[in-house]
Amino acid sequence: MKTAGRITKAAQWITATLCCLSFASNAKEAMQMPVFSGELALQHIAKQVDFGPRIIDHPAKQQTLDYIREQLLPEADKLVVQPFQRHGLKGNNIWASFYPTDKSASSRNRIMLGAHWDTRPISDRDSNIELKAQPVIGANDGGSGVAVLLEFARLLSTKRAPLIVDLVFFDLEDMGDIDNLPFSIGASEFVAKNRFYRPESGVIVDMVCDRDLVIPRERYSRDGAAQLQDKIWRIAARQQAEAFVDRAGSYIHDDHLPFLKAGLKVVNLIHSPFPQSWHTSDDSIERCSAKSLQQVGNVLEELIYTTDYIKPR
């Protein structure tokens, strides 16, 4: 009986899986979804790494800013660079909006995808003392989130989502604990400067390219945006996106926090516990995998393209 029971369960599982897989592909075909490419995202990381560290006063910073703008400019309905000055530091947040094809966009929901585009100016976690003073390469920490967003710029240019999608690139996330500076300076500035901006939901992607990617349910997101986090993990489970593990992570200070504090539902997708390469000279593209980026992209793609608007009351 036990064995039979198992066989029955296995058969049920196979039937259910086949059903859902075929439903997913049919639904995707029916909606003519564009397809997120982990390989193309990886190329965006390579580009940033080639520029160099995205730190203040380094030419790579301006080159990266120009590169991000170039990717967004042709198709974005709105593109704004918001310069700011805080803690004696100059930064730029970059904000692109993609509206649905039909123009009654103002009454529609919107979702924000955010990532930090700066990198850490020191490798303070490196075990080699001589390397500690060097800037991190930031393939994963900085580069990967930007890459995912830029790949979405391509998708949204091909086919608009049924809601407004804002791609926001935050500066100066990674100065935290250097000279007593806080993390997420750019995201805090963005929230303070754009108080009218109240998207129904948002997702921050940070450190999502490691070949051994593990994304648990970050705790601040759980406390402040449980429904959205549940939705993301339901999609991930259906897609069998193994990087998304269904367990509680830790409380992480990242760019979602200023939004949560302002009462906005923003979930952080971040590798945790942090990979060994974190804030070391080892945060290189060799540790990145297109497959990891693909999983994150697939989940976000389904989230964005199947979330319809709610009519305002």
Using the minimum distance from each CB to Zn ion, give the nearer residue, 69 or 253: 253
Name which of 114, 136, 168, 124 is nearest 53 in CA terms: 136
CA distance 298 to 242: 12
Name which of 202, 197, 203, 227 is nearest 215 in CA terms: 203
CA distance 117 to 138: 9
Using the minimum distance from each CB to Zn ion, give the nearer residue, 126 or 301: 126
Q: What are the CA-CA distances from residue 167 to residues 77, 104, 116, 162 (Å)?
A: 11, 20, 11, 15
CA distance 262 to 253: 15
CA distance 212 to 275: 8
Using the minimum distance from each CB to Zn ion, give the nearer residue, 141 or 282: 141
Smallest distance from the beta carbon of 64 to Zn ion, in angstroms? Answer: 16
Smallest distance from the beta carbon of 141 to Zn ion, in angstroms? Answer: 4
Using the minimum distance from each CB to Zn ion, give the nearer residue, 44 or 116: 116
Smallest distance from the beta carbon of 279 to Zn ion, in angstroms? Answer: 6
Would you list the DSSP string of 126-167? -SSGGGTTSPP--IIIIIIHHHHHHHHHHHHHHS--SSEEEE
Smallest distance from the beta carbon of 89 to Zn ion, in angstroms? Answer: 16
Q: In the numeric block, which tokens belong to residue 143?
A: 């580069």
Using the minimum distance from each CB to Zn ion, give the nearer residue, 206 or 301: 206
Smallest distance from the beta carbon of 303 to Zn ion, in angstroms? Answer: 24
Using the minimum distance from each CB to Zn ion, give the nearer residue, 141 or 255: 141
The contact set with Zn ion (CB under 5 A) reads: 141, 174
Smallest distance from the beta carbon of 116 to Zn ion, in angstroms? Answer: 8
What is the phi/psi pair of residue 289, to 5°?
-135, 135
Smallest distance from the beta carbon of 122 to Zn ion, in angstroms? Answer: 11
Cis bond leading into 273, ω under 30°? Answer: yes
Using the minimum distance from each CB to Zn ion, give the nearer residue, 49 or 111: 49
